[in-house]
Amino acid sequence: MSIIVQKYGGTSMANSECVKNVAEKVVNAKLRGHDVVVVVSAPAGFTDHLVSRAKEITDKPSGRELDMILATGEQISISLLAMAIKALGEDAISFTSAQVGIITDGNHNKAKIEAINTDKLLKALGEGKIVIIAGFQGVTKDLEITTLGRGGSDTSAVAIGVALDAAEVEIYTDVDGIYTADPRVVPNAHKMDYITFDEMLEMAGSGAKVLHLRSVELAAKNNMPIHLRSSFSDAIGTYVLDEEDKMEHVLVRGVAHTTNNAKITIANIDNTSKNIALIFKTISDANINVDVITQNYINIDRITISFTVAQEEYDRALELSKDLGRRLKADEVYGNEKVAKVCIIGVGMKSTSGVASRVFTCLADHNVAIDMVSTSDINITCVVNQDDYAKAVIAIHNEFEL
Ligand code: ASP
Ligand code: MG
Residues 124, 54: Cα–Cα separation, whole Å:
36
**40 within ligand 1 shell (Cβ under 6 A):** no
Q: Which of 41, 48, 133 to mutate to test the pocket of ligand 1 (most atoms within 8 A of CB)?
A: 41
Q: Provide long-range contacts, Cβ within 8 A and 24+ apart, for 86-93.
A: 87/23, 88/23, 88/24, 88/27, 90/26, 90/27, 90/30, 90/130, 91/127, 91/128, 91/129, 91/130, 92/26, 92/129, 92/130, 92/131, 92/132, 93/124, 93/129, 93/130, 93/131, 93/132
Cα 283 to Cα 156, 244, 303, 328, 374: the distances in Å are 32, 39, 18, 15, 20
Is there an atom of ligand 1 within 6 Å of 47 CB?
Answer: yes
Q: What are phi and psi of 39, to 5 degrees?
A: -115, 130
Q: Ligand 1 atom closest to Cα of 48?
A: 4
CATH number of 3-174: 3.40.1160.10
Mutational test site, ligand 1, from 46, 50, 150, max ligand atoms within 8 Å of CB = 150
270 C-alpha vs ligand 2 centroid, how far in Å?
Answer: 45
| CB 211 near ligand 1, within 6 Å | no
Which residues, 6+ apart, have CB-to-CB distance to 310 below 8 Å? 260, 261, 262, 289, 291
Strands 3-8 and 35-40: parallel
Ligand 1 atom at minimal distance to the Cα of residue 156: 8
Q: Is 152 in the pocket of ligand 1 (CB under 6 A)?
A: yes
3-state secondary structure 353-380: CCHHHHHHHHHHHCCCCEEEEEEECCEE
Q: How far is the centre of ligand 2, averaged over its atoms, from the C-alpha of 383 (Å)?
A: 27
Question: Crossing angle of helices 63-70/72-87, nearest 10°?
Answer: 20
Each domain of the chain, given as residue ranges in start order, spans 3-174, 255-399
Please give the Cα distance from 165 to 230 (Å, whole number): 23
Question: What is the C-alpha separation between 363 and 369, in angstroms, rounded?
Answer: 7
- Write down the CATH number for the domain with range 255-399: 3.30.2130.10
User: Considering every ligand atom, which ligand is closest to the CA of 135?
Assistant: 1
- Distance from chain centroid for Cα 142: 29
| Residue 68, burial from CB neighbour count under 10 angstroms (0-12, 13-18, 19+) | middle
**Residue 138 Cβ < 6 Å to ligand 1:** no
- Beta carbon of 12 within 6 Å of any ligand 1 atom: no
Given phi > 0 = left and psi -120 to 50 = alpha, else beta, which region is 291? alpha
Which residues lie near ion ligand 2 (Cβ < 5 Å)?
9, 151
Q: Label residue 284 exposed, middle or buried (CB < 10 Å: 0-12, 13-18, 19+).
A: exposed
Distance of alpha carbon 201 from the chain centroid: 8
Find how far residue 150's CA is from the centre of its chain.
10
Q: CB within 8 A of 152, min separation 6: which ones?
A: 135, 136, 212, 214
Ligand 1 binding pocket includes 254 (Cβ within 6 Å): no
Beta strands in 174-324 (DSSP E): 194-196, 226-230, 238-241, 254-270, 293-297, 302-310
Residues in CB range of 234: below 8 A, 6 or more apart: none
- CA dist 81 and 14 (Å) reads 12
Q: How far apart are CA 97 and CA 107, in angstroms?
A: 16
77 lines ligand 1 (CB under 6 A): no
Residues 6+ apart with CB under 8 A from 204: 210, 211, 213, 216
Write down the pLDDT at residue 51: 97
Q: What is the pLDDT along the chain (402 residues), one digit of tens a residue?
A: 699 999 999 999 999 999 999 999 999 999 999 999 999 999 999 999 999 999 999 999 999 999 999 999 999 999 999 999 999 999 999 999 999 999 999 999 999 999 999 999 999 999 999 999 999 999 999 999 999 999 999 999 999 999 999 999 999 998 999 999 999 999 999 999 999 999 999 998 787 778 999 999 999 999 999 999 999 999 999 999 987 666 777 889 999 999 999 999 999 999 999 999 999 999 999 989 999 999 999 999 999 999 999 999 999 999 999 999 999 999 999 999 999 999 999 998 988 888 999 999 999 999 999 999 999 999 999 999 999 999 999 999 999 988
pLDDT of residue 210: 86
d(CA 368, CA 388): 6
